[in-house]
Amino acid sequence: DAGITQSPRHKVTETGTPVTLRCHQTENHRYMYWYRQDPGHGLRLIHYSYGVKDTDKGEVSDGYSVSRSKTEDFLLTLESATSSQTSVYFCAISEFNLDDNEQFFGPGTRLTVL
Amino acid sequence: RKEVEQDPGPFNVPEGATVAFNCTYSNSASQSFFWYRQDCRKEPKLLMSVYSSGNEDGRFTAQLNRASQYISLLIRDSKLSDSATYLCVVNEAGGSYIPTFGRGTSLIVHP
């Protein structure tokens, strides 16, 4: 299995509080991604990074920010959590290769916003 | 907006059956295609890439039809352990690598 971990694995928080989720990889892959997965929506891209300090928005970026100060770490911050951000969050990594862009996913973080 | 569409199912099949899923995509410039498998409450994992010439891995066969813009996954001799959600993933050509996921097709294999 690819070396990718997420922390915390579960979190319950209250509306209005900031929350930071961490993704850590040991594969030295260039690309890192944050997705959320909700019933009926599948996986939706929040933000992604294509290198240290290089990030861009995905499909559902409102209310989220990210940072990547090191190759191995990609942080997702919910600046002021809302109940609509209750979801399962997956981090993924990949190397940029046009022919074989396999993504490796972390185990997920289950976030509940009360 | 890029679209990747899958029938959510569930597909309920007996052990030993053959089952096929399709996935349609809207962007004709799409470059590469994949099937992922996701078990309940787990992360997605790559099942197989889909090549223009089609490819086979044991009981699993993937096909690409660029003219009609769909990919397919065929599972022969279904096992109980094949029960999962199968996600179709499509990547665009060139530029940044941003994949688009389908919502997944649920497969339940029963004894």
> Could you say which DSSP state residue B102 is in?
-
Q: Which residues of B touch A (CB under 8 A)?
A: 31-32, 34, 42-46, 49, 87, 89, 91, 93-94, 96-99, 101-104
pLDDT of residue A5: 97
Among A50, A54, A101, A109, most B C-beta atoms within 10 A, so best to mutate, is A101
Q: Is the pLDDT of residue A98 over 60?
A: no
Contact A44, A59 (CB under 8 A): yes
Residue ranges of E strands in chain B: 4-6, 11-14, 19-25, 30-38, 45-50, 55-57, 60-65, 70-75, 84-92, 99-101, 105-110
pLDDT of residue A10: 97
The token duo for A103 is: 């993504």
Residue in this structure with the two tokens 């060139």, named with its chain if needed: B94
Spatial neighbors of B62 by CB under 8 A, at least 6 apart, are: B33, B35, B48, B49, B50, B51, B54, B55, B56, B71, B72, B73, B74
Q: What's the CA gap between B6 and B60, in Å, rounded?
A: 18
Among B87, B97, B101, most A C-beta atoms within 10 A, so best to mutate, is B97
The predicted-structure confidence for B26-42, as pLDDT tens digits, reads as follows 988 887 899 999 999 99
Residues of A with CB below 8 A from B45's CB? 105
Peptide bond into B10 cis (omega under 30): yes
pLDDT of residue B27: 83
Mean pLDDT on B69-94? 92
Q: How many Å lie between the alpha carbon of A57 and the closest alpha carbon of chain B?
A: 11
Q: How many Å lie between the alpha carbon of B17 and the closest alpha carbon of chain A?
A: 26
Determine the residue type at B96: S
pLDDT of residue B99: 84
Higher-confidence position of B63 and B32: B63
**Percent residues over pLDDT 90 in chain A:** 82
CA–CA distances in Å: residue B90 to residues A13, B25, B32: 34, 7, 6
Higher-confidence position of A68 and B97: A68
Residues of A with CB below 8 A from B33's CB? none
